[in-house]
Homo-oligomer: A and B are copies of this chain.
Amino acid sequence: MQQRPYNFSAGPAAIPEEVLREAASEMLDWHGSGMGVMEMSHRGKEFISIYERAEADLRELLAVPANYKILFMQGGGLGENAIVPLNLSRAGTVDFVVTGSWSQKSIKEAARYCQPQLAASNAESQHTTLPDPARWKLSAGASYLHICSNETIHGVEFQTLPDLKALGSDTPLVIDCSSHVASRPIDWSRVGLAFAGAQKNLGPAGLTLVIVREDLLGHALKACPSAFDYQTVAEHDSMFNTPPTYGIYIAGLTFQWLKRQREGELAGIAAMEQRNRAKAELLYGYIDSSDFYVNKVSPDCRSRMNVPFFLRDESRNDAFLTGAKARGLLQLKGHKSVGGMRASIYNAMPLAGVQALVAYMREFAQTQA
């Protein structure tokens, strides 16, 4: 069989080939039921079994404690920018750490529902560093503190999550982990709520994952639509509304794929973390060794998922992209707000894909010299 191209899209993004093949083979008949998954009632035993396995597999993969609910919702990260404060803010003060485009959008949207306070920002460095948690201005009595733990556009990632308790704060931490969920373990002792659009590391666009500590439920504002009230969604096992059933199915196949992954002794998310580290080190290592390419993010907070880089001579951008596409290296153009290139190397991108990219980058630099 011919090698598929390597797809570096920032999202919607590459899905493991095994997952796509399984989904294609079951499109007209899931496990002898006579129905495709898209055609099943969400209340029927067939879909319930798909849902329950997906929930259990994700809980196991991410070691989600029993006192956290896993919700399968709709609306994406931008939707959650409203849905989180509608559920958690109590119309009070909420702290935000702004580290790039996504957290900027979050603080702006939250102002509809609460009093957002800027606890810290990396705007001075053009979003290429991360502010030290020890210097964050934490508001007393804030309903929660929001961070984007991986900024998809600017390529900065919290290498470890901030420990607010160690800073003397009881404020729950909310993380928008859309673009690195399932790429490494999550320390739940530091997290009150995590949300993620599925379309980067989990499955198709239109499915949104919310994992929330139970004690944070039950405080939604009156303006919160019932379909987006976490308590209501939790009480109905994500089936108050008809859930995005096919997205849950594809995410479930992805969870099964994740459970099968191995790196030496490591399995599942631990294996993914090691592989993702190796992929990122290879790509950043080459960029740093080159005079032709540059990445502007401080090495201590470079994203392992989204690697924005620039050709020092940007007049060669089009030639670079054309050559990449001819070699089966797709969707490398950077986000329009920052320009340049971006290689998103999510879980579904194998090391071989990054090796092929580096080989091409090296060749392109040499031929342009």
* A-to-B contact residues, CB < 8 Å: 4-5, 7, 9-15, 17, 20-21, 23-25, 27-29, 34-36, 38-42, 44, 74-79, 81-83, 86, 109, 112-113, 197, 199, 203-207, 221-223, 225-228, 240-247, 250, 328, 330-331
Contacts and interface: CB of A to CB of B under 8 A. Distances in A.
In the complex, the count of this chain's copies comes to 2
User: 7 tightest A-B contacts by CB?
Assistant: A206-B244, A82-B225, A5-B34, A24-B27, A223-B223, A74-B74, A79-B227
Contacts of A204: 38, 244-246
Given A20-B28, A244-B205, A79 B83 contact: no
A142 B109 CA distance: 29
Contacts of A331: 41, 44
Contacts of A199: 242, 245
Contacts of A227: 75-76, 78-79, 81-82
Main secondary structure, interface of A, reads: loop
A109 B245 contact: no
A14 B28 contact: no
Contacts of A28: 4, 17, 20-21, 24
A364 to B, nearest CB: 20
Given A204-B38, A227-B82, A23 B27 contact: yes
A227 B243 CA distance: 18
B244 A244 contact: yes
Nearest to A41: B9
Contacts of A42: 12, 205
Nearest to A240: B78
Given A113-B223, A206-B207, A227-B75, A41 B242 contact: no
B4 A34 contact: yes
A78 to B, nearest CB: 4
Contact of A206 (B36, B41, B247): B247
Nearest to A8: B41
12 contacts: A7-B35, A21-B28, A23-B27, A24-B24, A38-B203, A74-B74, A74-B206, A79-B228, A81-B225, A82-B228, A204-B246, A206-B246
